[in-house]
Amino acid sequence: MSVEDSGTGAEAVTTPAGTITKRESIFNRLYVGNGAFDVVGKRKNWYLFFAALVVVCGLSMGLKGFNLGIDFEGGTQLQMPANGANGEITDDRAKEVFNQSLGLEAAETQVVGTGDAATVQVRSDTLDAAQVAKVKQALFDELQPIGSNGQPGIGAISDSAVSASWGGEISQKALIALAVFMVLVTIFLVLYFEKWMALAAMLSLVHDLVVTAGVYSLVGFEVSPATVIGLLTILGFSLYDTVVVFDKVKENTRGLLGLTRRTYGEAANLALNQTLMRSFNTAFIALLPIIGLLVIGSILLGSGTLQDLALVQLTGTLVGVLSSVFLATPLLVDFKMREPKYKQQAQRVKARRENVARKAADRENAESGDFDPADDAQLDAELRKEKAYAAAASVPARNQRATPSRGNRPKPSGKPSGKRKR
């Protein structure tokens, strides 16, 4: 029985009954990074997936819109402890008392926090001083909220008014910051990489923004200033992962036009595989504190600032790592393959492979008379090169340094080893 590594994530085992191909585990293929995952070759499927995401998110933003908070729409917010002399105060009960006292519909009510620190928030359109006093009195009479002194009191109910212009100012500054960020990043990518990499990275970044905003619209969480801040922070993470992949693509494709071993798409796909484990590990580590923030914000503290910030970061991180791997690089390959020089190089690669395959087939059918025995040695050398090239591609970048043989390894003392006794 003989074992042969094909260099593509499969192991060929030859037995008396024939050759059996065993697939390596997905974790081993991720670790080795030998190009076993054909991301670029299946890029049309990924395009459909990301296009569907954008369409769904776009429809949600256009039809459903966003649940804008008081900071963007303006209005009045009343807040009181969730513990009352008559028992626990629920958000539904607070909303009912508010509506009955003024004959108006409360915009939103929610409980924030847990235990003794829990509070009930009631948000509505802007109220004048008389209306605020009336609704506070009604809430105190019906619910008897307990203040910090342990006794019911109307002072336990606080109110605040927010102008819609403040939220609009935040939005305007955020858009300006986003525009400046995009321009500076585009200039950097063009100078450090090239125009096609800059374009692919920017399209991936726009996709991340649209999908993250669309998920926020679908879930219906309130859009607060924390949401805007979180949306801006995810841009850096998404761009970082894309730059890491593109840097490896740049390394793998250096001098490619003078070679006929791989096309640009194949070299880019290998770069993706070589950085795939790093991208997933980085995303996993980044997601751990974000998930903790979301759980704490949702379960322990109730829906509030922490929850708003965590959701946008969670969505942005997930979408960012997916787009940097499965969208940005495939887009780059399509852009590059529009250039004649890369098309010609791909044709040369195809011609060389067809020539090797034809010679191998001729040797298998030598009786047909089409195979020249003089080409046998040359064909063997060519096939050995192909095998060695595939084997080299299956070695992780950090393990490419030769491992010393058992007889040449230094002794633990550090002294040079002598000749082995026979």
Q: Which of 5-9, 176-180, 277-281, 330-334 has the highest mean pLDDT?
A: 330-334
Q: Which of 305, 338, 371 is the last residue of a domain?
A: 338
Overall number of domains in the chain: 4
For the chain, what is the mean pLDDT? 77
Residues 383 and 259 in one domain: no
- From 133, 152, 134, 142, select the one nearest 81 (Cα to Cα): 152
Residues 11 and 42 in one domain: no
Q: Which of 126, 141, 162 is the last residue of a domain?
A: 162
Confidence class for position 281, pLDDT limits 50, 70, 90? confident
Residues 48 and 183 in one domain: yes
pTM comes to 0.70
Q: Say which residues have a Cβ less than 8 Å from residue 14's Cβ, sequence separation at least 6.
A: 1, 2, 3, 4, 20
Residue 411 maps to a domain: no
Give the residue numbers spanning the domain of 355: 341-398
Residues 331 and 186 in one domain: yes
Residue 405 maps to a domain: no
* CATH code: domain of residue 244: 1.20.1640.10
Residues 185 and 333 in one domain: yes
* CATH code: domain of residue 122: 3.30.70.260
For residue 38, pLDDT beyond 80 = yes
Per-residue pLDDT tens over the stretch 52-82: 999 999 999 999 888 877 777 778 888 888 8
Residues 262 and 383 in one domain: no
For residue 3, pLDDT beyond 70 = no
Residues 151 and 107 in one domain: yes
Confidence class for position 383, pLDDT limits 50, 70, 90? low
pLDDT at residue 48, rounded to an integer: 96
Residue 105 maps to a domain: yes
pLDDT at residue 405, rounded to an integer: 37
For residue 128, pLDDT beyond 90 = no
Residues 261 and 176 in one domain: yes
Residue 286 maps to a domain: yes
Per-residue pLDDT tens over the stretch 331-365: 999 999 999 999 999 999 888 888 877 777 766 66
Residues 293 and 352 in one domain: no
Residue 384 maps to a domain: yes
Confidence class for position 366, pLDDT limits 50, 70, 90? low
Residues 228 and 174 in one domain: yes
Residues 108 and 60 in one domain: no
Residue 415 maps to a domain: no
pLDDT at residue 331, rounded to an integer: 95
Residue 115 maps to a domain: yes
Q: CA 391, CA 167: separation in Å to the nearest integer?
A: 59
Residues 224 and 99 in one domain: no
